């Protein structure tokens, strides 16, 4: 019985990717004009490799403030650009960081200034398919 409960707990933590003790690493944030429905826990990738998660999304001055949890050891340059991407046409949203080359690094708790908001693919397709007015 006890073993069963422990196993169940372990499985739900593993499958649900629930963080019991918090993740190691550090946090940075970025401001977007539109997240396009990005969710907490969405992956953060560099060159397609997962390097962290979306920790928290909140509204600040009618813009989205997205807090990112970054794995320890990953340096983010000051001119890095964060974009909200969609996997496939209608897939889940995720965060992509394109590495920069500036000498300064973003400190823990700091802000990545350059952002690209979610591009509305459906709007682009309809623009293309039906033409502009």
Partner 1 sequence: MTTSNKQAILPLLFLVLGAPALALAGEPTDQIKQTTDQLLAIVQTPSLQGPEKEIERKKKMRSVVDERFDWGAMARSAVGKFWHNFSEAQRTEFTKLFSDLVEKTYMTEVDSYSGEKILYKGDKVDGQYGVVESVVVTLKGTDVPVSYRVLKKRAAWLVYDINIEGVSLVNNYRSQIGSILNSSTYDKLISRIKAKIEAKPSESATEKKQGTATKKTKEETL
- By CB atoms closer than 10 A (0-12, 13-18, 19+), residue 38 is buried
Binding map of partner 1 across residues 1-40, x = CB under 8 A, - = no contact = --------------------------------xx------
Per DSSP, 105 falls in state: B
- 113 scored as a contact of partner 1 (CB under 8 A): yes
What are the C-alpha distances in Å from 20 to residues 24, 57, 59, 119? 12, 20, 26, 34
Residue of 23, 81, 86, 110 interacting with partner 1 (CB under 8 A):
81
- 71 scored as a contact of partner 1 (CB under 8 A): no
- 128 scored as a contact of partner 1 (CB under 8 A): yes
Tell me how far, at minimum, the Cβ of 30 lies from partner 1, in Å.
12
- By CB atoms closer than 10 A (0-12, 13-18, 19+), residue 63 is middle
Tell me how far, at minimum, the Cβ of 76 lies from partner 1, in Å.
12
Based on CB atoms, which residue is closest to partner 1, 92 or 104? 104
Based on CB atoms, which residue is closest to partner 1, 23 or 77? 77
User: Of all helices (H) and strands (E), which one includes residue 122?
Assistant: helix 121-130
């Amino acid at each position: 019985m006890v073993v069963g409960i422990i196993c169940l707990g372990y499985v739900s933590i593993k499958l649900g990717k629930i963080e019991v003790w918090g993740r190691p690493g550090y946090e940075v944030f970025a401001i977007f004009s539109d997240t396009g429905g990005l969710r907490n826990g969405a992956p953060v990738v560099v060159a397609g490799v997962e390097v962290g998660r979306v920790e928290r999304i909140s509204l600040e001055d009618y813009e989205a403030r997205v807090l990112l949890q970054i794995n320890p050891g990953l340096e983010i340059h000051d001119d890095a650009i964060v974009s909200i991407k969609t996997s496939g046409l209608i897939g889940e949203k995720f965060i992509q960081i394109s590495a920069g080359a500036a000498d300064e690094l973003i400190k823990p708790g700091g802000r990545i200034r350059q952002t690209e908001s979610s591009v509305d693919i459906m709007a682009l397709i309809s623009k293309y398919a039906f033409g502009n007015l």
